[in-house]
Chains A and B, each alone.
Chain A
């Protein structure tokens, strides 16, 4: 389907595809097997200016928006979601800074991210706070010279590999949700250490770790925005980044669809290629429709995010929910119609199925997002009465 990309968007998409096919494809199975962080590919992406895509021009970026980010994530995810998420998480880890940081903060941190020299990460989730984000317990006590961080963050993507962390912590324990603030914390700050690397079902090359803060002093100038704005900033961040997760899901679904078509074209059973059988054709057709619908929705949401309108949480949530749900279905169907081969680790399909699952879970579990969408529906109808 034609989405009327500009020349620049086409260039970004095709270069991302080229990197994916030439550099990621040959090593994705090994990276998954060894659960190895893809530093060599991060360098390839950096050399190709891919990290500049989501950084404003004033900070050595190319000034692309949510849409351009989605194009890159989609192409990377089509080949390997783990690499895609390592890239996307850096965008996630610096958006708050980009939108709400001071000039000094942006000058200090963004150029290094643009050049790919440093990766970023976003840290909200804790052992006691997943979907119930307001249940976080990490504190950032105001002291002489800055904020003293104490607490533990859990399941942080790029944890341990990133150098720049946007951490959400309670600067005022008495104010509940209004008491959290966003702070920039650099790796190697005394009192900041990492827990073990998590062993995951999928996206295994991506690094997921605990962040441990024990009397970690963060300089005053590292506060992003105002004290107490933490959750608002987080909500706005996720609204902006959810289409990216949608792109990650849609990308892996695309990869699975192509692999399934390739396999069923050459696999002969009952004297003909599998793809000649109507039952297989029906499944493939549904898969293709679902992937395209996800793409259209993700692109529409991303364009809305970039358009300048003030509110886009619903569109953003819809794109993420739909794309991740179809990704799980498409990758599962792909394994199914490829039969035994689909189940074997020699073929890429089972990895895609394992990789797809997380997109339904993180950055807003789909159940929570559905609730939020329903509440909006109700509010809207209530207003028209």
Chain B
């Protein structure tokens, strides 16, 4: 079952061999052979020009329940403040709802949540608000069961939520209870209008392979999306949405877990290896005091502070910030190198960063060879300008 290789069609070209992420294919005597362990991911089927490989699909036992309509966005809040990802998802959700010619709903749980009207401003036609002291602490037991009840009552066909530490923890529980499919960390969402299906695209293997996924028969189709994947539109405060206030079902729903305490992270404990954005300073800073500039830029960007070797050696910044061959190896989404020349040793520690920005007044600095974007200029002029412009938004 599962995967079939038609040896008559197989030409032995071997194109499928490198396509298999698990290395399970090999060409023996001009025909391909498959080792054990196939997960039916379909990469080989994709690669075969001779249609020799088929992944058997199990025929659907049932059709999707057509009574499910509407796109919902779970609007996450903490301590009464809505999170940016809610607006981002509403922006994209609005487009999906328009394509499906259906309504966009925002679901919000909490207590004394501020600025609820913004949910409509970002596109929600309806806002389902459950405001209750029991929901103030984001206790996932309550959130899970309350969302399940709402979905069972209102039957949206699509539910989106932020892939935050809350979202990634409780949304799977909702999908498990409902017996429906959930796709995590989607980077792309669009509609297959012919079949009224949500096409969910997400990275696997650390982003080396992309997969597009559908949930053909179960409802709702659920996805989580990381913050900053979608951009939020300009809010239209003239837009009005219907706020539906619902009572928390406290007779039915209690939380088994209890929040005893919340400890805020006051120090910058973003370990640079885990940071999405790193701003690094190098010898070009000239003086220890000038690291303040780097710290300021990092703060504005929500970034961790890194360093090449010379500042660490000089004692301007602790060794834990050092990036490079004798420091840490990092691979953030964005690496901003200020006054860093880009020695081989430093580049060894950061060259796999997704986007690299270099700011240096030496046009021949090696860092420019690996930078995605570069500014040849005095960092003491450029960095303050960056800070100012970023603060504006």
Contact = CB atoms under 8 A, between A and B. Distances in A.
Interface of A: 29, 346
B326 interface: yes
A-B CB proximity, top 4 nearest? A346-B326, A29-B326, A346-B345, A346-B325
B347 to A, nearest CB: 14
A346 B326 CA distance: 7
- Chain B interface mostly helix, strand, loop or mixed? loop
A346 B322 CA distance: 14
Interface in B302-327: 325-326
Interface in B334-361: 345
Contacts of A346: 325-326, 345
Q: Place the interface of chain B in its size category.
A: under 10
A346 B348 CA distance: 13
4 contacts: A29-B326, A346-B325, A346-B326, A346-B345
Nearest to B319: A30
A29 B327 CA distance: 11
Contacts of B325: 346
A279 to B, nearest CB: 25
A307 B241 CA distance: 88
A346 B325 CA distance: 9
Nearest to B309: A346
A346 B345 CA distance: 9
Contacts of A29: 326
A356 B282 CA distance: 36
Nearest to B324: A346
Contacts of B345: 346
Interface in B118-163: none
A29 B326 CA distance: 9
Nearest to A345: B326
B319 to A, nearest CB: 8
A29 B322 CA distance: 15
A180 to B, nearest CB: 47
Nearest to A29: B326
B309 to A, nearest CB: 9
Contacts of B326: 29, 346
Nearest to B325: A346
B341 to A, nearest CB: 16
A29 B324 CA distance: 14
Interface string B238-257: 00000000000000000000
A32 to B, nearest CB: 12
A346 B310 CA distance: 13
A29 B345 CA distance: 15
A197 B100 CA distance: 77
A6 to B, nearest CB: 30
A148 B345 CA distance: 57
A37 to B, nearest CB: 19
A273 B391 CA distance: 50
A272 B176 CA distance: 60
B85 to A, nearest CB: 36
A55 to B, nearest CB: 37
Nearest to B345: A346
Interface in B61-119: none
A260 to B, nearest CB: 18
Interface string B174-195: 0000000000000000000000
A346 B308 CA distance: 14
A352 to B, nearest CB: 16
A215 B117 CA distance: 85
A210 to B, nearest CB: 32
A194 B264 CA distance: 46
B9 to A, nearest CB: 43
A9 B345 CA distance: 37
A237 to B, nearest CB: 39
A29 B309 CA distance: 15
A346 B309 CA distance: 11
A343 to B, nearest CB: 16
A342 to B, nearest CB: 15
A264 to B, nearest CB: 16
A247 to B, nearest CB: 28
B131 to A, nearest CB: 51
B121 to A, nearest CB: 51
A29 B325 CA distance: 12
A83 B340 CA distance: 35
